Structure formats: C-alpha cells, structure tokens
Structure 1
Amino acid sequence: MGGIVAPGRARGDVRETPPWPRGSRPYALSFPPRPGETARRTLAKAPLPGSQHPLLARPSRHAPGVKSRAGGHMDASAVDAVIVGAGVAGLTAARALRRVGFSVAVLEARERVGGRTLSQSLGGEVVDLGGQWVGPQQRHVLRLADELGLRRFPQHHRGTKVLEVRGERRTYRGQVPSLPLLSLLDLQRVIWKLDGLAKRVPLERPGAAPRAAEWDALTLEEWKQRHVPTWGARAALDIATRAVFAAEPSELSFLHFLFYVHSNHGLMPLTTIEGGAQAERFTGGAQTLGLRMAGELGARVHLSTPVRAVLQDEGGVTVTADGDRAWRARYAVVAVPPALAERIDFGAALPPERRRAHADLPMGSVIKVVATYERPFWREAGFSGEAVSDTGPVRLCFDDCSADGHHPALVGFFLGETARQWTHRPPAERRRAALESFARFFGPQALRPTAVADLDWIAEPWSKGCYVGLPRPGALTAIGDALRAPFGRVHWAGTETALEGCGYLDGAVESGERAATELAARLSLPATSPSRVQVVTG
C-alpha cells in the first residue's frame, strides 16, 4: 500500500470531504491552556459529520455504528492517523483529529470501547466496574463531558464513616479520622510536608527535581519509616496509598508519588469526596464517555482488533493487527498502557528509554465489587457508605446508589497485595468475602444483596491491572522524556503520559488532546516539508 499524500494533493488522497469549505480547514488544534500558560494553537470547533448519532443509554457490546471483525468490516487502505486503543485517551485523540478534518482509524483489541471504564446493568441500574469518579479540578474530562452532553450527580457522603485499623472498627464524621491526637497532628504535618515536596517536582520533567535521583531510588515505604513516627499517621498513609494507587507503599517510587500528588492538585483532593477527585459520578456510567465518542466516529472504530506491530518508514506507518490486517497511515498514536505496549513490535530502533517504560511501569492491582440491595440500610442507620480498612479484603468502600437513591448499592475495592492474593480465587468466594467486609462495616444486612458483580482487573488481558501504570523505583529518572516524546511517526497517549490528572479520566483526556495537537501540526505540513520530529526506521 502506498503512503498518504499531503493535504491539497489530489493523487491518492483518500480522506473524506471535510465539513467546511475547501481551503478553510483549521491547521491545528488547541485546548484551554494550563494555568500560567498561553493558548497553543488555533481552536477548531468544526462539527463532526454524524456527531448527532444516537447513543445507547446503557452499555452494549459495540458502540453505535462500530463494526467488529466478525461483522465483516473492510479495512481502510490508508488514513492520516491510526490510533491504537479505544479507551478514553485514544477516542479523545481520534475525535479531536476528526474535528479538524483528518481521517482516522481506531483499533481496539477488546470487543468494546472504553478501556479502563466499564459500565453494566446490575439490579436495574447501571453501575461502574471500572473508572467512575470525577472532581472539580479535572477540567479536561469535565469539558469533554459537557461537549458530549453527559450528566453528573454528586457522590453521596453524608453520615458516619468507618475506619478499620489494627483490627479495631472506629467511626467518625467529617474529614478527621478517629485516631489519637498525636497521630492526627503527625498526619497533618505529613500532608503539609508531602504537598510541599510535590510542588518541587516539575510536571513536565520530574527528573529535574532538586533531589530526583535520590527520591526515585527511595520507596514511599522507606520515606515513611524515616519521617512518620506515629502509628496512626503511618496507618493512614498506607490506607490512602492503597486507595489512590492500588499498590503498596513499598512498590512506589517516592519521586513518582510526589509527581502524582502534584499532577492531581494535592493529597487532600486525591483522597476526599467533597471538592476532591471522587466528588461526582456520571449518569449512565463513566463508559458513556467512550460510547459517545465512538458513536461520533462510527465505523472508523474497529473492535476485536489487537495490534501486533507498528512499523514506520520514510513514507508513513504500517499498523498490523491479528489476521494480517494492516492499515497504512502518515502517523500513529499508541494510546494503551505502557505495560500493554510492550506486546507491540515497534522495530529495532525503539529507544532503550521507551523500552524501559514498557517494562517498568506495571499496572496497579485492583478487584472491584458492587452489591445491590432492596434498601439503603447503611443510610437508614446513619452511615455514609464510606469505609477504609487496613484489614481487608475490602480496603475501600463507597455508597454506590443511583442518583435518585432508588437503587441502593455499595462498591468495594480489593487493592494492592490483597487484590493479588485474591485474583485466582473463585469469583463466588471473592464476592462472599466482599459481603463479609461490608457487614463488618455497616451490619449483617450487607450479607443479603439482591445482586453482586465483580471485576478482577488483574486478570483482564487487555489491561493487566488498574488503575494506572506505576514506575518502579529508579525507572522514572531513567525513562526521562520517553513517556511522551514521539518516536519518529509514533506518538503516545494514555493517562500514564498526562501532566494533569495522571492516573484519572482527566489525564486520559488531557493526553489524547495533547497527542491530537501534536499530530494535527505535523499533518498540516506540506509533504515536501521536513518533519519536526526525526523519522526512525527499524
């Protein structure tokens, strides 16, 4: 197959007719700047053809207008950009490129879109078994949700909370846990200290932090042992770490921990509901983000299409999927977690720093369980539904009722080492253990659900875990800029690459917008113009 010709060249131009007059297409994309920055490029708001396609109100196997391999969809011979991965990041990039008239193909290994979001019907209501919450600081995903017409509602948090620590069940209200006074004072000092250190880590170059090498070689556990004297503050930090990262403190690079805190506006927004990252949920589930974008893109999204190779030459990129199906493009965006990108052949010239990113960013470990009930018995007893535990197996729990409260539910998380211990256990055994945890938190009524569903993200072959890829100690400084830096004609997206909202839906959207902006600028260059990024063949 031949390469793609540049915009304006008639021969071999296979792109669709743009939805604006010839010659008037915006040359690039831009999005609202980060605080302190200026806008980057021309804002393009041209509508997508078919952007009003109807969307299924509940999850389905395929997004509207999307054909799977079994459906007999014929591969496009050539496009401007191939996007690998139909999660939120990949779909955001594809949608943005289409809005300025470039042709795209989105290749997804799963039989569904949405990546690490998954919404399904349970007990008569849609529940989320993947990514779920958004907060007021997360401007990228909130703007996208508004564009797509998604509605949100507040996460319920009124009432008494439960803290299990050292085998003892404690209750409290508000944001101050029921710990000894010295532990509370120590915990507040630790929060202030960590927030201050986090601000010293530059988001665009964490390796330029004043003590980057030292902090990257240090685990959060080691830092805690040196700097947190009280048992209560240590326990609270452990609980928060598992809740936020789905990993153990001994597994986290201290430098990456600080970067993550900075990227998400501080420790308190990361760990709280009101005003924090867990403030709101989407009506119809978070997967609706991906479903709506896929509905706009229609048959440009190819499901059940695992990509095996992304190889480039001077003329473009050839992306090969299972069954020897191939797409030719001028550029590619790889929007899958680094741990999954390791399965893709990029050629011998892939830089060692990028290879290390694929090898040394293992995913977090989480199993999510949702149980529905006839009545919200915990609310009736004065509980908020929020519980945290250092005992487990459920380490974190929230009220998961519908917006109107008519479909009562609780959601719990097996996290870190606990999740790995339970990943090979029978689902029925996991669910029973989760219900027993709920019963310890809120009473024996929790043992009598109307329905239960769980999802072991560790066992998902196209995720290998959740929530996010986490650099091993020492990896972040070694990888450097390779997480985001283009490799010739290959660009990268995914929440792991985000500067804002890293690890969250917000980061996925931010990264997709960035990748689309990079590609739009390069795609707008005449075919004879030198590329601003060196093409590497391998």
Structure 2
Amino acid sequence: MSPHPEVDVVVVGAGMAGLVCAHRLRRRGIGVLVLEACDRPGGRTVGAEVGGESVDLGGQFVGPGQDRVYALAAELGVATFPTYTAGSNVLETETGRLRPFRGMAPRLGPSTLLDVARARFRLDRLARDIDTETPWRSPDAAALDGQTLQSWIDRRVHTRGGRRFLTLACQAIWACEPSELSLLHALFSIKSAGSLSALTDFEGGAQQDRLAGGAHGLAARLAAGLDAGLLLNAPVRRIEQDDRGATVITEDGTAWRAGQVVVAVPPPLASRIAYQPPMPAGRDTLLQRLPMGSVLKCIATYPEPFWRTAGLSGAALSLRGPIALTADSSPQSGRCGVLIGFVNGATARDLTTRSEAGRRALLLDALSRLFGPPAGRPVAFAERNWTEEPFTRGAYAAVFPPGAWTGPGSALRAGVGRIHWAGTETSPRWYGYIEGAVQSGERTADAIIRTHRPRPPAPVR
C-alpha cells in the first residue's frame, strides 16, 4: 500500500452533498479529491433513459424555501419548471373506489377530514417548538422522543380513515411506518421544512418544481467540473488519522493522504467504514440505530399524457396500494407522457421479495386502477428499488427511531478530529431533501475554508 501525493481534502461520496462540498472548496483554491463507490456520481439522484427521455429514478423535486438548490441550478445553467398539477387528483380508497378531488384535501368524508385537519394543526403546533440545530434540547424532547408517530396517531386521531390517511402521509414523507418513527423526528422534519404542508404539497410545497433535464443533471454538471478530481468505483473501506493528517484507503488498497476528510454518505454506509482511531462510542451507537427508509420508485412512459385529456393531473393517493403516491413527470417538451409511482415502507420491503415480473404486474395493475387501462400498457417501464442499492441501502433518508435523538443524537454532526460529516441527514433544514444535501455540503465546505491553511511548498532538493 503506497500513498498517493497528499491533497487538501478527500471527500468520500459523490452524492449531492459531497459534490457541492467539493465544488465550493475548489472555487476557493483548495485541492479536493472525491472518491465514489458507484460507477456514477449523484448518490440518491440518478437518471435513466426511458422511452427516449431522460427521467429521474431518484430525488427530483424542488420547491419554495429550497433557495440553495435554486441558486445552484441557476449557477450551473439548469432551468426549473412547474410540476404539472392542472385537473383533478385521485384518491383510491381501501375498497378500490376512486374519488377525484382538487387541491390537497381528498374527499374523505366530513368527520375524517376534520380529524385529519386537527391532526395536521397539532403536528404543526408541536413542531414550532423544535430546535432543529439541537433537537435533543427541544422542550419535552425526552417525552416526544420516547414515543412513535404511531402512538401519537392512536391517541390523537379518532377516525379509522384519519389514521389510515396519516399512515399514508408518513409512508410518503419518511418512507417508513409510523410505528418505526420517533415523534420527535417527525416534528423535527416538519420544522426543518417550515410546516407539514411544505412537505406534502405540490403547489407551494416541496414538489412544486422540477429541474430541466432532471435533478441528476445537477450532479452530472458538478461532477464534470471536478475533472480528474473525481474517482468512481472507489469504495472507501478505512480512514486513519494521525498528528500529520489522514489516510483514506479504498477497497483496492490504494491510500490517499489528506489534511481533512469529508464523509458524505448515508449513515448506514458511514458506519461500515473502519476508523482508526475508532469513532467515539456515541457516534458508533447512533449509526447502528439509523436504518434508511424503504422506497421503490417506478416510471411508466406513454406516447402522450392521456390522463390530462381526461381532466386528471396525474397525482393520485392510494389507500389500497401497493403504489401509495403518483405524479405527472412528463418532460417539459411534451413529447411523451410519464407517470411516476412510489411504494414506501413495509410495502416496499414486501415487494423486494417478489420477482421483477411479479412486481411489474402489481405496479401496472395499480396504475391501471388509478388511471384506466391505458396506464397498464406503457411503451417503457423502469423501477428503482432503493432498498437494494448497495451504496445507499434505502431512501429518502435515515429514519430516527424513538430514543435516537435524545440518546446519541448529538454525535450526528459533530466532527471527529480531521473528519467532517455531510449529507442531507446532517442538515437542520430540509432533512431528507436535495436542499438539505446542498446546504450540508456548503456548510461543511465553509467550515473547512475557515480553518484551512495552505500546505507548505515541498522542499527544493
């Protein structure tokens, strides 16, 4: 094992956080090397060509309040455009009945609608007191973190339809079941976005806009700017620190010396890197407790967006499943129609046990129920099962179970020696979103810039 010449900073992971961090450091003249385990940059943003169009199989939406993503897109020359929302949305009940509705209030019946409205109000009110910088110091943090979102729903939501709808909302937002999620973490996420509506809504919410060419195009442009400063297929297995710097060792035994290291990978993957000296017990304990959410995203492409002609927006909520949520993801050009569908939580984990053909049949059947027989006959179909991705192990983000924030949670963002942490999970704003990743990358870069001292020139021999 022979180390390469030293660089100022090694960034582990070429997701949005790592790429943004490296981009910002390079603009300040700091030498950076990015090591990425996959054969592509982008992390939880990824593109594919489906029916001749580039589509997002990972994160794709942006919305009001996500100022850093919009600024980055403008800097890189990437336009944004609104998600298609004209027409009626569709709610599928557990019995399979279709109920069209407009806006974000599905036709659930008066008592259920009132029940859901009260629950949303109470969650927003509780979230107002959460300190997103230090959630474990929030008022009543121990009590909030000692229960699940499910236990709160059981106490506060009184109608069966209301409980089912809030379960669907939890699956859609956090890609897990309410019984798996700390109430404190749910409130932290709501506060990190500003409100529950900011998380759930299209118009005025996090799903309002899309990026021309796909969100993965942002990652591609950032990666292109790194030139030889990005190495793919280079999983990091070990990071060693000493008085003079850090050594980052990849799977093939190559060692890279650096003054600082940024680890910008999902928490479960950060826990699989060997550290010398070992991580503090608090951080090690925390990472062992943070699974990723479970989500499968499917893309169906059609010759045209036929649902628009029928007066539908392409957005649907299903209490029957397996697809919980759909949206119109057609290209701005209008050359074809594209529907995206999300399968989340326990349902996504169940589908991973089925064959590819079996999954496809179930997913197309669900689309057919929501939008009619033409939806079951796409010209192209693709899926991304994020729970099986070896270098993410799930999406959208890590799930905090009860006790994680108020136990070892303070170790999430705290640097250890020469090692800094980045990634959407470390962001106090827009946790789990591309915006959170961008903010974390910028924050980490700024911290390094503030303390950076140029390396002395090599001695003349």
Work out whether 1:264 is the aligned partner of 2:180. Answer: no
AA in 1 matched with 2:412: L
Specify the SS of the correspondent of 1:470.
Answer: coil
Q: Which runs of 5+ in 2 are unaligned?
A: 457-461
Work out whether 1:150 is the aligned partner of 2:78. Answer: yes
Matches within 5 A, 1:98-113: 98-113=26-41
Partner of 1:328: 257
Q: Partners of 1:81 and 1:357 in 2: how far apart? A: 25
Work out whether 1:235 is the aligned partner of 2:164. Answer: yes
Contact kept in structure 2, 1:86 and 1:115, CA below 8 Å: yes
Partner of 1:284: 213
Partner of 1:244: 173
Q: Partners of 1:512 and 1:182 in 2: how far apart? A: 45
Q: Partners of 1:188 and 1:385 in 2: how far apart? A: 24
Specify the SS of the correspondent of 2:405.
Answer: helix
Contact kept in structure 2, 1:165 and 1:235, CA below 8 Å: no
Contact kept in structure 2, 1:369 and 1:431, CA below 8 Å: no
Q: Partners of 1:314 and 1:183 in 2: how far apart? A: 62
Displacement of 1:77 in angstroms is: 1.4
Q: Normalising to structure 2: TM-score of the pair?
A: 0.96
Q: Partners of 1:391 and 1:204 in 2: how far apart? A: 38
Q: Partners of 2:116 and 2:364 in 1: how far apart? A: 31
Partner of 2:415: 486
Q: 1:401-458 CA deviation, whole Å, 9 max, x = no partner?
A: 1113221011101110000001132222212211110111010111111010111111
Q: Partners of 2:387 and 2:349 in 1: how far apart? A: 8
How many residues get paired?
455
Identity, % of aligned positions: 47
Partner of 2:143: 214
Specify the SS of the correspondent of 1:478.
Answer: coil
1:341 to 260, 263, 270: 270
Displacement of 1:479 in angstroms is: 1.9
Q: Partners of 2:336 and 2:64 in 1: how far apart? A: 25
Q: Partners of 2:353 and 2:409 in 1: how far apart? A: 35
Inter-CA distance 346–220: structure 2 relative to 1 (3 Å threshold): same
Partner of 1:83: 11
Specify the SS of the correspondent of 1:77.
Answer: strand
Q: Partners of 2:454 and 2:157 in 1: how far apart? A: 54
1:397 to 322, 326, 345: 326
AA in 2 matched with 1:477: T
Q: Partners of 1:404 and 1:189 in 2: how far apart? A: 41
Matches within 5 A, 1:336-375: 336-375=265-304
Displacement of 1:231 in angstroms is: 2.2
AA in 1 matched with 2:78: L
Specify the SS of the correspondent of 2:378.
Answer: coil
Q: CA RMSD in A?
A: 1.5
Displacement of 1:175 in angstroms is: 2.1
Partner of 1:516: 445
Partner of 1:134: 62
Greater CA deviation, 362-371 or 186-195? 186-195
Work out whether 1:170 is the aligned partner of 2:99. Answer: yes
Q: 1:489-528 CA deviation, whole Å, 9 max, x = no partner?
A: 100000000011110000000000111011112213898x
AA in 2 matched with 1:189: R
Contact kept in structure 2, 1:133 and 1:282, CA below 8 Å: yes
Q: Partners of 1:433 and 1:496 in 2: how far apart? A: 32
2:351 to 379, 399, 422: 422
Q: Partners of 2:37 and 2:455 in 1: how far apart? A: 33
Q: 1:119-148 CA deviation, whole Å, 9 max, x = no partner?
A: 111111111100010002111111111111
Specify the SS of the correspondent of 1:83.
Answer: strand
Partner of 2:338: 409
Q: Normalising to structure 1: TM-score of the pair?
A: 0.83
Contact kept in structure 2, 1:133 and 1:281, CA below 8 Å: yes
Contact kept in structure 1, 2:11 and 2:35, CA below 8 Å: yes
Specify the SS of the correspondent of 1:499.
Answer: coil
Contact kept in structure 1, 2:240 and 2:277, CA below 8 Å: no
Contact kept in structure 2, 1:317 and 1:489, CA below 8 Å: yes
Partner of 2:459: none
Q: Which runs of 5+ in 1 are unaligned?
A: 3-74, 528-538
Contact kept in structure 1, 2:304 and 2:334, CA below 8 Å: no
Contact kept in structure 2, 1:309 and 1:320, CA below 8 Å: yes
Specify the SS of the correspondent of 2:90.
Answer: strand
2:368 to 439, 442, 459: 439
Contact kept in structure 1, 2:51 and 2:301, CA below 8 Å: yes
AA in 1 matched with 2:77: G
Q: Partners of 1:425 and 1:526 in 2: how far apart? A: 54
Q: Partners of 2:76 and 2:128 in 1: how far apart? A: 33
Partner of 2:238: 309
Q: Partners of 2:79 and 2:42 in 1: how far apart? A: 17
Contact kept in structure 2, 1:457 and 1:463, CA below 8 Å: yes
Contact kept in structure 2, 1:427 and 1:454, CA below 8 Å: no
Q: 1:367-388 CA deviation, whole Å, 9 max, x = no partner?
A: 1110111222211111111111
Contact kept in structure 2, 1:365 and 1:419, CA below 8 Å: yes
Displacement of 1:264 in angstroms is: 1.0
Q: Partners of 2:301 and 2:40 in 1: how far apart? A: 25
Q: Partners of 1:327 and 1:481 in 2: how far apart? A: 29
Specify the SS of the correspondent of 1:476.
Answer: coil
